[in-house]
Chains A and B, each alone.
Chain A
Amino acid sequence: MKVLGLSFDYHDAAAALVVDGVPVAAAPEERFSRRKHDRSLPIRSIAFCLERAGLKIEDLDAVVFYEKPFRKLSRILAGTVSTFPSSGPLFRRAMGAWLDERLWVGPRLESALGVAPEKILYCEHHLSHAASAFLCSPFDDAATLTVDGVGEWATAAIGRGSRAPFRLDLDVEMRYPHSLGLLYSAFTAYLGFEVNEGEYKVMGLAPYGTPRFAAEIRKMIEPFADGSFRLDLDWFAFHRDPARSFSNKFVEAFGELRAPESGDPAGDKRLCDVAASVQLVCEELMLGLAQEARRRTGSSRLCLAGGVALNAVSNERLLREAGFEAIWIQPAGGDAGGALGAALYAAHALAPMPPALYEMKSVALGADHSAASAAAALTEAGLPFVELKGEDELCDRVSALLSEGKVVGWHQGRSEWGPRSLGQRSILADPRPASMKDTVNAKIKFREMYRPFAPSICAENASEWFDLAGPPSADPYRFMLATAKTREDRRDRLAAVTHVDGSSRVQTIDAAQTPLYHRLAKALGARTGVPATLNTSFNLKGEPIVEAPADAVATFLASGMDALAVGPFLTTGRPANPQPRRETCATSETRSDGLGW
């Protein structure tokens, strides 16, 4: 059975193709269109998925959209009716978008893809998230917890799944406007970051502050004994304002908001304290939700998805304190992951025979590119390059560069599924010197100086260097989804990747799953004594992660990177006339519809 899952119209449009219960290709549209958080119908991603599997659209058994649009519209209408007469602008903006395109998902798919109407199906938003976690996990049965801004009506859901016979049900859900994701997003906007993009910047800012506003934030929340809660809407505006998520009362309590992307927030103690406070409250609420999932289902295994499941600090607390034996988190926890979940759910629900058990051990579901295309991109850019003889020489040369303090672009194999670069499309550097963080930030990434970089470390060595909250080879560390404290006696040797509070968003490298990247880290360890790299996503600030070799070359030229390894080729040169830094394609808050309409 061949099922295509799709997410689009909000943020992070994506396509995922599942054949006989196994994902064979999945990619967000932004990788191909080069528009960050591209929300348009993912034509390029669909074309990639089909080409990868050698299929045509008529070969598909079903095309599944990741949510129920009419149900979502009913929520938006209920919200505008409930907040009449202050919701006029929101109503006009939302209805404009809905009448223009969002209401017509089926006809648009028929028209754009030529897919038969009877093959178009719809999977509820949180069911898609739950499926993206449970049906990629190693568990035969487990509890599911999905937490995000909002789907149709649901903002969080607890469910349970079993593989044989297949069953994935949601037991209970919390409903709009009571949302942990929207609470966190309100603070994201208040702190001057883009909603649905800057949440991890808030997480990174939090360790610079103390949670002195936590009590104030708790006043916004009416908690219940079962982990659920209601928001006091006097503090918010997302339910009635199309462009603002918090009210004047909010500003009176926390002080003047930060203008978007202005100045260095880490230099403002108040802003740091606000970030620390909302992060703490987020962790407390997530812990309450997870404990309720445990109590309600009786399961000792948890599958987690939804945008809030990308909060690595909160995930570490769940690993340590929620009482589960094992937790599996979908690496594409946001809406892009819904495409995969919708496809997996339909593949299991529609299959006459139960599909084989699938476990997502690698995120390499994206496109790969030939050596010829890499050579062509380098040649076209006028870059001198050498072809290395095999992986040993590649790792030897690149590890030598890294140990000399060089910053290297690393473009190898199929691109990663999810927002993290995990060794296929990465910018790498030596994790030892503290100055490396500033070098990468200032010369290459052009991003906020306070933000930490993440380490990738050989899984077998990870426990020596980090106080992991779970087994090193297991998830969620494999996919960089949880933080861990760098061991105190090692911090001076991981200075570039250890945050101000001693934590790291560590990725463990599994030799069986990512052998080339593991070999590189091993080679670097042989030179430096630290089997780890500084690993950051291969992009510039505001741009999508690179996809094709030509994107990698363009990013290399527009930054201060010292070398670039694309497939078997290595370049350390520069053309005679370096290109100026190009414009980014960052999407604004209003265009990404961060407020749920």
Chain B
Amino acid sequence: MRGLLDDAVRRLLEGAVRIATAIGAVLLTVVYWLVLGPVSLTLRLLGVDLLGVRGKRTTAWTPVENGDPKKRLEGAG
């Protein structure tokens, strides 16, 4: 009896995870098409090159701003 109950709970949890994963995938797909899509089109119309792949360049180096070493460690972004 206990084994059957454990098995049922496990199946229930696995089902819940599958449903949550599917919902997550749907939501992310919606975000991708309804948010990132318009953002992408707008940026392209404005000629923004986020990855630095277009246009003539003479270097691929980008200068780095170095501040106070202590402050540099603050924050995750």
Chain A interface (Cβ within 8 Å of chain B)? 62, 64-65, 68-71, 74, 77-82, 84-85, 88, 91-92, 95-96, 99, 105-106, 121-124, 127, 157-159, 166-178, 222, 224-226, 228-230, 233, 239, 345-346, 348-350
The listed residue (B28, B58, B66, B73) touching A224 by CB distance below 8 A is B58
B76 touches A68 (CB 8 A): yes
Docked Cα-Cα span, A175 to B53, in Å, equals 11
Also in contact, A92 and B25, with CB within 8 A (given A81-B39, A176-B51): yes
Contacting residues, chain B, for A176 (C-beta < 8 A): 51
B29 touches A82 (CB 8 A): no
**Chain A nearest CB: distance from B10 CB in Å?**
21
Q: What 13 additional pairs, Cβ within 8 angstroms, besides A74-B77, A78-B50?
A: A70-B76, A71-B76, A81-B39, A84-B36, A84-B37, A99-B24, A123-B72, A124-B72, A158-B61, A168-B69, A171-B63, A230-B60, A350-B70
Interface size on B, residues (CB 8 A): 35
Does more than half of chain A's interface fall in helix, strand or loop, or is it mixed?
mixed
**Chain B nearest CB: distance from A491 CB in Å?**
42
B43 touches A226 (CB 8 A): no
Docked Cα-Cα span, A316 to B77, in Å, equals 37
How many pairs, one residue from A and one from B, have CB atoms within 8 Å of each other in the complex?
A: 126
What are 19 inter-chain pairs, A to B, with CB distance below 8 A? A65-B76, A68-B75, A68-B76, A70-B75, A70-B77, A78-B51, A82-B40, A106-B76, A122-B75, A123-B72, A168-B69, A170-B66, A172-B63, A173-B64, A174-B62, A177-B51, A224-B60, A228-B61, A350-B70
**Chain B nearest CB: distance from A152 CB in Å?**
9
Contacting residues, chain B, for A167 (C-beta < 8 A): 69
Contacting residues, chain A, for B57 (C-beta < 8 A): 222, 224, 230
Docked Cα-Cα span, A159 to B76, in Å, equals 22
Contacting residues, chain B, for A79 (C-beta < 8 A): 50-51
Closest residue to A226 on the B side, CB-wise? B59
Docked Cα-Cα span, A171 to B32, in Å, equals 36
Which 6 residue pairs of A and B lie closest in terms of their CB atoms, listed nearest first? A70-B77, A349-B69, A228-B60, A84-B40, A172-B61, A169-B66
The listed residue (A65, A105, A127, A178) touching B52 by CB distance below 8 A is A178
